[in-house]
Amino acid sequence: MFEDLGAFEPVLAARGYVLRYHDIGVHDFAQLRAQEPDLLFVLGGPIGAYEEDRYPFLLEELALIEERLQAKQPVFGICLGAQLMARALGATVYPGPAKEIGFAPVTLSAEGSISCLRHFKDTSVLHWHGDTFDLPNGAIRLASTAICRNQAFAYGDHALAVQFHPEAGDVGFERWLIGHAMELSQAGMDINHLREEGKQRLSRLGVQAAACLTEWLRC
């Protein structure tokens, strides 16, 4: 597992949450349901939210997300997790016009500017995705980029979906560069440049990530 909660982990631990990682498709899905977590973070991964023909476990994951959203239980989706949330809410997920990989700013909507994502205003955040989605009915768009109109949305006070990586911090970033080696090569990315950018930006992003999550937990 090379995508984890990153800079979110200390915030959650400080508030007394016990963190449990569940690798969908590897660990027993019934175990996750039995735990009935107070918070559910749906993290990223290098597959498509629409690839249940290759990864049948996605259907179980979608069902769980849909149940939690309908029950107004807290869900925070990141990258693939955001795409799965969009699909669980009835929206279509599909390949975007281009991959977004690297550090670049997002444009916050009026609603985004007063949401917990305001902590990333005028900041280059970490992007790492090729798919995108339509905005679900009832959701509020919070952020966009030129390539990806729907970078983030809120659904009620209990659900937040973000295609970029607000959790990214400087600890563990090298795992990303190793784990995504093939994708980076296919996209023609300069890994050394990405690593250096990470050294310059991720420490500050970790502070902003902590502020973002702290505010969201108050909702």
At residue 128's C-alpha, the angle toward residues 91 and 206, to 5°, is 110
Q: Write down all domains in the chain, each with its CATH number in brackets.
A: 8-217 (3.40.50.880)
Query: In sequence order, which ranges of the chain are alpha helices (DSSP H)?
Result: 8-14, 29-35, 57-70, 80-88, 173-179, 181-186, 191-217
| Helix, strand counts (H, E) of the chain | 7, 8
Annotation says 167 is catalytic: yes
pLDDT tens string 144-203: 999 999 999 999 999 999 999 999 877 788 988 898 888 888 888 999 999 999 999 999
Choice among 61, 79, 119, 180 that is catalytic? 79
Q: In angstroms, rounded to a whole number, what is the distance separating the alpha carbons of residues 109 and 98? A: 22
Choice among 9, 127, 167, 212 that is catalytic? 167
Q: In angstroms, rounded to a whole number, what is the distance separating the alpha carbons of residues 6 and 171? A: 7
- For residue 119, the one-letter residue type is H
Annotation says 165 is catalytic: yes
Annotation says 79 is catalytic: yes
In this structure, the strands spanning 40-42 and 75-78 are parallel
Q: What is the pTM of this model?
A: 0.94
Choice among 119, 127, 129, 165 that is catalytic? 165
Please report, in angstroms and rounded to a whole number, the separation of the first and last CA atoms in the chain: 29
Q: In angstroms, rounded to a whole number, what is the distance separating the alpha carbons of residues 79 and 166? A: 10
Interhelix angle 80-88/57-70, nearest 10 degrees: 70
DSSP bridge pairs for 48: none
pLDDT tens string 109-136: 999 999 999 999 999 999 999 999 999 9
